[in-house]
Structures are given as structure tokens and as C-alpha cells.
Amino acid sequence: AGGLSFLVSKTESKLFSAGDEIAVMELKGEKWSAKISTKVQAIREIEPDIANGFPYKVWRISCHITQIDPVSKKYLEKFIFERIK
């Protein structure tokens, strides 16, 4: 299916480990929402710099989508491809 990443603080990063399964994660767009299941693939520390504009370190939680219904997948793909242009 694909994947997604999100950023968390140092304290929140301790709640996640590679291999963790997230049974229900809700994604929300302007006119749609989807409930998906994911598996944490990696946790990476991101240093602040001029390019990313972060004022302090953050941790990127990268997940692989393990379950998504076909209708939600269609809306998610449309959302992504509209922003790639």
C-alpha cells in the first residue's frame, strides 16, 4: 500500500519502537477521512537546520500501511498526487 511519516517530540518518541503495530490510525483530509493500520518501520532523529526550519530536534516515525480499504486508498492516492504536481 505505501507509507507515511509523522513528527513527534523526544518524549513522544519513547512511545514508539520499530516493529510496533498501530491498529487504528485516522487520516483526515479536507473532505475525507480514513482509518488505517500501520507498522512502525523506523524512528529517526532529525536535527534542526535552515532547510527544515525546525527550532529543535524532532523524531520522524516512519510507518508502512498494512491495511486500508479500497475507497480510502483511492482518496489518499488522489490527495497525494494532487500535491506532487
Do β-strands 58-67 and 21-28 pair in parallel, antiparallel, or remain unpaired? unpaired
> Could you report the per-residue pLDDT of 3-26, keeping only the tens digit for each?
999 999 999 999 999 999 999 999
What number is the average pLDDT over the span 43-60? Answer: 95
- For residue 15 the three cell numbers come to 512511545
- Angstrom distance (rounded) from CA 6 to CA 85: 22
Write the CA distances from 81 to 23, 30, 73, integer angstroms: 26, 15, 12
Residue 29 pLDDT level (bands cut at 50, 70, 90): confident
